[in-house]
Structure 1
Amino acid sequence: MHKTAGQRDPAAAFPLAHGRDDAGERRQANRAVAVSAVGLAATGLVELLLAVVTGSVGLLGDAIHNLSDVSTSAVVFLGFRLSRRLPSERYPYGLERAEDLAGIGIAVVVWASAVFAGYESVRKLIEHGHTDHIAAGIAGAMLGIAGNQIVARYKLSVGKRINSGTLIADARHSWLDALSSAGALAGLVAVALGQPWGDAVAGIAVTGFICHVGYEVTRDVVHRLADGVDPEIVTVAEEASGSVPGVVHAHARARWTGRTLRVEIEGWVNPELTARECDAIGHLVADQVSRRVPAAGSLTWIARAGPADPGC
């Protein structure tokens, strides 16, 4: 006796046609993190040395921010390592969320950098601190701009290629460092032109840049952890599923776990269909979703018996 759609198991997972090279993506991510950490460490140490020599708080804030990127790189690396864990009874989806949780570490470091840079800048402005060796400071700020732009572009490219929200957030952090370096440069130029307060004001401006990116990084991390997705993903997934013969109505949900976009489709079908026929429809749905939603990495098909009420 055949099982009908109303009697079958409620859900089934189907492989998508465009399988991901997860191991290759992890290698790319780890390489991006390692290369950027080395580059930022070198840039930050040079800037820190020049900040001590010149007494520039703008350059000091930029140096601390660059060196903080090295610590966030370590957090990102840890997140990628933990996300390799296989699913278990305690963690049925594995630890892919570790990549998203690593984003929290990045946000914390960004905000801590903002507090430190802001404190030092306000203190220098109040105490009328001096800045020396302006040319050396300008060279250090220019080095910061170049180094951070290169690192940010590299990490952003890899992050988008492998759909890593954490790596993209880390790239934005590095992009901010380039802007903060530009702010430090502007302050030093102002000092060179006879405006001694320029460096302290630049430090405050750098703090503003840091706060802006801190807000963006925090917003993106919270969005992912709260299972937020682009509404268009759900709309397209429902349209793709509904276009499959035999699917009367489809309802989709989606969420990110690390770099994996998990899509769940509830499809209402003829209650007289057998389990085999429902599975066949599920495979067709998986094929359509993989074509229309290329970012999808996992699909769960749930067959519901009977015509659906579109108002439900």
Structure 2
Amino acid sequence: MHTISGRQAADPVGLTEVDDAGERRAAHRAIALSAVGLAATGLAELLIALLTGSVGLLGDAFHNLSDVSTSLVVFLGFRVSRRTASERYPYGLERAEDLAGLGVAAVIWASALFAGVESVRKLLGHGTTTHLGVGIAAAAIGVLGNQLVARYKLRVGRRIQSATLIGDAKHSWLDALSSAGALAGLVAVAAGARWGDPLAGLAVTLLICHIGWEVTTDLARHLLDGVDPAVITSAEAAATTVPGVSHIHARARWTGRTLRVEIEGWVDPDLPVRAADAIGRHVIAAVAHALPEARAISWSARSAG
């Protein structure tokens, strides 16, 4: 069996292995910067929410502050996933990142519950909202700050293939929508509709539930070894282009940010070992070229006879 680990890039000689230390540093930097930005935004919104009595702004503030705790969870997940493989954990602890992502999902659902309860309470209790100008300004700042954080984390997450960081970016994008909902509610109150603030809070709750469902299903798919069927199709199509392979069967799964592809190939049983090994190297090179996102590719030869 041949196995290539790390990020692969096909070249005329073979495969080049690239260490992911730089990608981890980029992830840590994205988490730290976003946590600082969200903490500042959340504290400012919290103070103004207490001043104005806006339930939409209050929910948005707690939502932003909860993101600081999820950033810590994501950071711990990245740190734990760095541990090398052992006899007990032969694949390492890369899935710690996915478990951290479940923590992010839990916070999203908790935010949905909090926002919904507070919105219904104010709607039924006919609460008032004051200092509308200050509240509108705070909500606008929340929209801008969360958009910047979300785009930054999404860009880094896609570049390093981290489902957890992408999920955290979606959470920040959700925060921008939450701030926009709070802003719309305050504008409605300023126009004379007292129900605007709690109604906006309910709308934000539905958005939170939608994003929570997306993040939860993406992470669950990773943990249950689900992959895009196109990955299997591409791997098998690339492997069959190598002369000497009569049949190919591919499997793949994610462990954290690592896409692992396993190739079984049927070859002539009379081939010498050296020739079968050469075919395996060519198969790995072909699959790595077709699937640049794959970080670990293994080959096993089977007798066609």
- What range is the shorter-chain TM-score in? over 0.9
Choose from 224, 227, 230 the match for 2:228: 230
Structure 1 residue 36 displacement after superposition: 0.4
CA displacement 1:20-78 (0-9 Å, x = unmatched):
33100000000000000000000011001111110101001111111111111111101
Give the aligned partner of residue 275 of structure 1: 273
Whether contact under 8 Å (1:250, 1:266) holds in the other structure is yes
* Cα distance in structure 1, aligned partners of 2:119 and 2:53: 11
Whether contact under 8 Å (1:18, 1:290) holds in the other structure is no
Amino acid at match of 2:116: G
Structure 1 residue 18 displacement after superposition: 4.6
| 1:204 partnered with 2:202 | yes
| 1:106 partnered with 2:104 | yes
Choose from 66, 79, 90 the match for 1:92: 90
What's the % identity of the aligned pairs? 67
| Partner SS for 1:252 | strand
Choose from 18, 39, 62 the match for 1:64: 62
Structure 1 residue 12 displacement after superposition: 2.9
Mind listing any 5+ residue stretches in structure 2 that lack a counterpart?
A: 9-14
* Cα distance in structure 2, aligned partners of 1:44 and 1:301: 50
- Tell me which of the two structures has the higher relative contact order, counting C-alpha pairs closer than 8 angstroms and 6 or more residues apart: 1
Choose from 114, 118, 141 the match for 1:143: 141
* Cα distance in structure 2, aligned partners of 1:279 and 1:53: 72
| Partner SS for 1:131 | coil
Mind listing any 5+ residue stretches in structure 1 that lack a counterpart?
A: 1-10, 308-312
| 1:14 partnered with 2:4 | yes
Distance 1:138 1:252, change over 3 A: same
| Partner SS for 2:127 | coil
| Partner SS for 1:246 | coil
Choose from 113, 116, 119 the match for 2:114: 116
Q: Residues 258-269 of structure 1 correspond to what in structure 2 (within 5 A)?
A: 258-269=256-267
Structure 1 residue 209 displacement after superposition: 1.0
State the TM-score, normalized to the length of structure 1: 0.93
Structure 1 residue 275 displacement after superposition: 2.2
Give the aligned partner of residue 168 of structure 1: 166
* Cα distance in structure 1, aligned partners of 2:203 and 2:59: 10
Whether contact under 8 Å (2:2, 2:281) holds in the other structure is no
Structure 1 residue 303 displacement after superposition: 0.5
Distance 1:144 1:279, change over 3 A: same
* Cα distance in structure 2, aligned partners of 1:18 and 1:161: 18
CA displacement 1:124-158 (0-9 Å, x = unmatched):
01110000100111011001000000000000000
Distance 1:185 1:299, change over 3 A: same
Whether contact under 8 Å (1:14, 1:301) holds in the other structure is no
* Cα distance in structure 1, aligned partners of 2:237 and 2:138: 54
Amino acid at match of 2:54: S
* Cα distance in structure 2, aligned partners of 1:35 and 1:89: 36
Choose from 31, 34, 50 the match for 1:33: 31
State the TM-score, normalized to the length of structure 2: 0.96
* Cα distance in structure 2, aligned partners of 1:161 and 1:208: 30
Structure 1 residue 278 displacement after superposition: 1.6
Q: Residues 183-262 of structure 1 correspond to what in structure 2 (within 5 A)?
A: 183-262=181-260
* Cα distance in structure 2, aligned partners of 1:57 and 1:18: 55
* Cα distance in structure 1, aligned partners of 2:78 and 2:17: 19
Amino acid at match of 1:55: G
Whether contact under 8 Å (1:57, 1:124) holds in the other structure is yes
| Partner SS for 2:41 | helix
Whether contact under 8 Å (1:61, 1:206) holds in the other structure is no
| Partner SS for 1:232 | helix
Whether contact under 8 Å (1:20, 1:297) holds in the other structure is no
